[in-house]
Amino acid sequence: MAALSSQSRGVVRPQQHAEQQRIGYRGGGVVVATFARSDAPALAAIAAGGALGSSLRYGVAAWLPRRGDIPWQTMAVNVVGCFAIGVLMVCVTEIWVARRLPRLFLGVGVLGGFTTFSTFGVEVRTLLESGRTVSALGYLGGTVVASVGAVVIGAGATRWWRRTGTGTAKGGRR
């Protein structure tokens, strides 16, 4: 954004103007998100996926009982969601080239709605404020390590599955 602000003081070259129009630059250093009508299908896919993902998250939270200090429901959805994004990213980049809308529906919508970093942050803060520092730090560290590990395991398992010969979709790359 700083680069756009400094450019607005001088002569705007045609390519700069095109870039500013593309990102919704309105002058004065303010960037406003704008969407073209062509973005409507993408936004609809993300919204539908988000509704499904957040509904799944609610279902998991209702299904898993809360035990002790650690909010296991949030940790479970974040770790499972990270595993799923590891699988999805290998699928859309190495196995089959996903079309834009299914990728947005699944990755941004479903998995974005299913996982919840904001709830995780609030839960850590709540544990800290209530004096349960050990639980808060354990939850914080455990969730981060387990979530990153889940991405690595999900991606690795998908690559392994692909190498065994069962993971190549019709028309996929080998």
- Binding positions are 112, 115
DSSP letter assigned to residue 111:
I
Considering the domain architecture, whether residues 30 and 55 belong to the same structural domain is answered as no
Position 33 confidence tier, pLDDT thresholds 50, 70, 90: low
Considering the domain architecture, whether residues 88 and 43 belong to the same structural domain is answered as yes
What mean pLDDT is predicted for residues 58-74?
90
Structural domain contains residue 172: no
CA 37 to chain centre: 24
End-to-end CA distance of the chain: 41
What mean pLDDT is predicted for residues 77-97?
92
User: pLDDT higher for 76 or 10?
Assistant: 76
Considering the domain architecture, whether residues 55 and 118 belong to the same structural domain is answered as yes
Is residue 172 over pLDDT 80? no
Considering the domain architecture, whether residues 61 and 127 belong to the same structural domain is answered as yes
User: Which is it for the CA torsion 123, 129, 130, 131, positive or negative?
Assistant: positive
Considering the domain architecture, whether residues 90 and 134 belong to the same structural domain is answered as yes
Considering the domain architecture, whether residues 88 and 146 belong to the same structural domain is answered as yes
Q: What is the pTM of this model?
A: 0.72
User: Which is it for the CA torsion 56, 57, 59, 65, positive or negative?
Assistant: positive
Q: Indicate the average pLDDT of the chain.
A: 82
Structure tokens at 128: 């800290």
* Helix and strand numbers, DSSP H then E, in the chain: 8, 0
Considering the domain architecture, whether residues 135 and 154 belong to the same structural domain is answered as yes
Is residue 90 over pLDDT 50? yes
Q: What angle do CA 140, 141, 143 make, to 5 degrees?
A: 70
Share of the chain above pLDDT 90, in %: 58
- Binding positions for Na(+) are 112, 115
Share of the chain above pLDDT 70, in %: 73
Structural domain contains residue 169: no
What range defines the domain where residue 28 resides? Answer: 1-34
Q: What pLDDT, in 10s, does the model give residues 116-153? A: 999 999 999 999 999 999 999 999 999 999 999 999 99
Structural domain contains residue 67: yes
